[in-house]
Chains A and B, each alone.
Chain A
Amino acid sequence: MKQVNQRAWFFLIPALIVMSVNAFIAFMTVINYSFIDKLPGLPSLWLGLENYRGVWQDNIFPSALRRQFIFSFVVLAIQVPLGILVALGMPKRGIGATISLITIGLPLLIPWQVVGIIWRAYTRADLGFVPVILSWFNYSYDTGLNPFDAWVTIVVMDVWHWTPLIALLCYSGLNAIPDAYFQAARIDGASRWKTFWVVTLPRLRSVLTIGILLRFMDSFRIYIEPFMVTGGGPGTATSFLSDTVVREARAFNFGPAAAMSLVYFYIILVISYVFFQVLTNVGTGNEPVQEA
């Protein structure tokens, strides 16, 4: 038998303590709550899978899940191509590169709540400039009344806030591509579009994998920004999963809320895993090769 040094475990103790406080204990509490009927001051009642069945019985969670998927799909479908486009347009060196890096990175430095407050201020029916400008075109804009307005506002806000992340990741990815690849494509007579497909995109794969994963997970658990701008309304039109869970918990339905958040958690886990597998294998030769 090979002697294994077990001392490493000792060094993990501080990390394990921190993790048990902020992750493990919290996680276990949620799992515990999901199986009982919990009301403050009353004895808990074991319910088994009752809370989990409840998640799917009324339409609250399923409709929020549907909205969540649509939202994540829409923002990814806009942010990924737009981010690549912005990165392609950024200057590679000189003062222009510095200026564009700072300008484009700026939205990422703003705290999420503040982003919500800023966009709330822009779009409030009584105070914001957006309704004023749209009224010049005879469009009566009101995020509190019109679900479409609320959706567009939140999507635009998210695009403004997070496209820079994709753009910056792609920018660093682009700068890492050796010039010889582009020169070879020029000599082989490739059009700019063809060069993009055959040289640029495959070489951005790893940064795009990270970008898409981050953006998917973040957009899937979006909470504070729509909460600040629309409060999930009008009605439940912009109430996404986390907002739905919070509403449930605020109504002292701890058991159902706990079951919901666990279902929510597993959905993110599974989808992220699938994303990761697909993105790391596409174009690497690990999938079947098409016939020439």
Chain B
Amino acid sequence: MATVELVNVAHSYDGSKTYAVKDINLSWQDGVASALLGPSGCGKTTLLKIISGLLKPSEGKVLIDGQDVTAQSPRERNVAQVFQFPVVYETLNVYNNLAFPLRNRGVDKAEVDRSVRAVAEMLELTPYLKKRANRLGAAEKQRISMGRGIVRSDTTAVLFDEPLTIIDPQQKWHLRRKLKELHQRLNLTMIYVTHDQHEALTFADQVTVMDAGEALQTASPEELHHQPAAPFVGYFIGSPGMNLFDGKALDGGIQLADTHLPLAPDLAEGNSVQVGNSVQVGIRPEYVQVSRDAHEGWFPATITRTMLTGNALMLELTGENLQLKAIVPEESPLQAGETIYVHFPHDKVLLYSSRQDGGKRLETQVAA
């Protein structure tokens, strides 16, 4: 168990022409349950391989417990990795699979036996110990993979690379719970890579959102939801994702297509939004207020579609040349085709610089 740190890590597969990951600075505290979340191809698997030592980064350093391990092999780092597709040694039985990492390190026989049986008990593999690994189902094989990761007493961190991809939905739930349980019991540093926000948000205490090789934000699931540091984070997390609009900062407000969003007075002195600059405005669908009656400052919009999502009703709206989504309670009487009035509560609106300026979060508030 250990702290893992990445310092200015970057990696290119084609000799510095394009970078799969760019200048990453991240750290994981000892015993943290963490997730790397991002769309396919965002560089999260590359980052994982850099941590485990399967890949040497083109630039930057990997520190484990403050010690530079960039040049070390996976074996020397004692980092375990569980892969997307269950990897088992098919000619060995379950017992010998679990014993494999220990025997490779010359652990003595009694110790091997004790550790293997303990891990098998934890992962509910005891009844299968004498079975060939390749005769088991995908979920059992993935448990064997996990078992090989945690069987060593000196494992510094366990990395999971989308480990539930090919597992059945019911088994998925069971395995996820098992993982959580293992984390609490062993207090291991766990880093879990996934493109599935539900997996990430339910497993981890700390989530890093990645896009296009960059780590955009590292925070708790709540913070990612309420305070996304970049438009992508807001859009990627939540279902549906955050509404995003391009706008222009004017004196005292923001012009969003045909509507005007007033800004708080301190903007005038504030230095983060310059009058005349392009900005991006974000608001989560669950915070969009709708009403059949007109109010001061609300703008009209037509409901183009309604969709039931679990216990809520999602509205797709068009108005003032904006397209947006809103979430209202399931029992709402609103119907497609109606024209209603929409309002963005000032404390729920988030401002970002324009796409060209990198979509950075702007610390300012929209007027009441």
Contact = CB atoms under 8 A, between A and B. Distances in A.
Interface of A: 178, 180-181, 183-184, 186-191, 194, 198-199, 202-203, 283-285, 289, 291-292
A189 B91 contact: no
Interface string B61-102: 000000000000111000111011101011111011001110
Given A186-B73, A191-B104, A198-B89, A285 B79 contact: no
A291 B104 contact: no
B198 interface: no
B74 to A, nearest CB: 5
B179 to A, nearest CB: 18
B105 interface: yes
B137 to A, nearest CB: 14
Contact of B91 (A178, A186, A202): A202
Contacts of A184: 81, 83, 87, 145, 148
Interface of B: 49, 52-54, 73-75, 79-81, 83-85, 87, 89-93, 95-96, 99-101, 104-105, 129-132, 134-135, 145, 148
Contact of B104 (A188, A202, A203): A188
Which interface residue of B79, B93, B129 has the most chain A CB atoms within 10 A?
Answer: B93
Given A188-B101, A285-B132, A198 B91 contact: yes
B148 A188 contact: yes
B266 to A, nearest CB: 53
A181 B97 CA distance: 13
A187 to B, nearest CB: 5
Nearest to B95: A292
A57 to B, nearest CB: 47
Please report whether the interface of chain B is mostly helix, strand, loop or mixed according to DSSP.
mixed
29 contacts: A178-B85, A180-B83, A181-B87, A183-B49, A183-B54, A183-B74, A184-B87, A184-B145, A187-B79, A188-B104, A189-B75, A189-B101, A189-B105, A190-B100, A191-B104, A194-B104, A198-B91, A198-B92, A202-B90, A202-B91, A283-B91, A284-B134, A285-B132, A285-B134, A285-B135, A289-B93, A289-B131, A291-B130, A292-B129
A198 to B, nearest CB: 5
Contacts of B90: 202-203, 283, 285
Identify the 4 closest CB pairs spanning chains A and B, nearest first. A285-B132, A292-B95, A189-B104, A188-B101
Contacts, number: 70
Contacts of B80: 187
Given A178-B85, A188-B101, A292-B96, 12 more contacts: A183-B74, A183-B81, A183-B83, A186-B54, A187-B52, A187-B80, A187-B81, A189-B105, A194-B104, A199-B89, A285-B131, A285-B132
B54 to A, nearest CB: 5
A177 to B, nearest CB: 11
Contacts of A199: 89
Contacts of A183: 49, 54, 74, 81, 83
A199 B73 CA distance: 19
B268 to A, nearest CB: 57
Contacts of A186: 54, 73-75
A180 to B, nearest CB: 4
Contacts of A285: 90, 131-132, 134-135
A286 to B, nearest CB: 9
A233 B59 CA distance: 67
A44 B81 CA distance: 77
Contacts of B95: 292
A186 B93 CA distance: 19
Contacts of B89: 198-199, 202
Contacts of A292: 93, 95-96, 99, 129-130
A188 B102 CA distance: 8
A188 B92 CA distance: 14
A178 B88 CA distance: 12
Contacts of A190: 100, 104
Nearest to B129: A292
A166 B214 CA distance: 46
A93 to B, nearest CB: 13
A202 B133 CA distance: 13
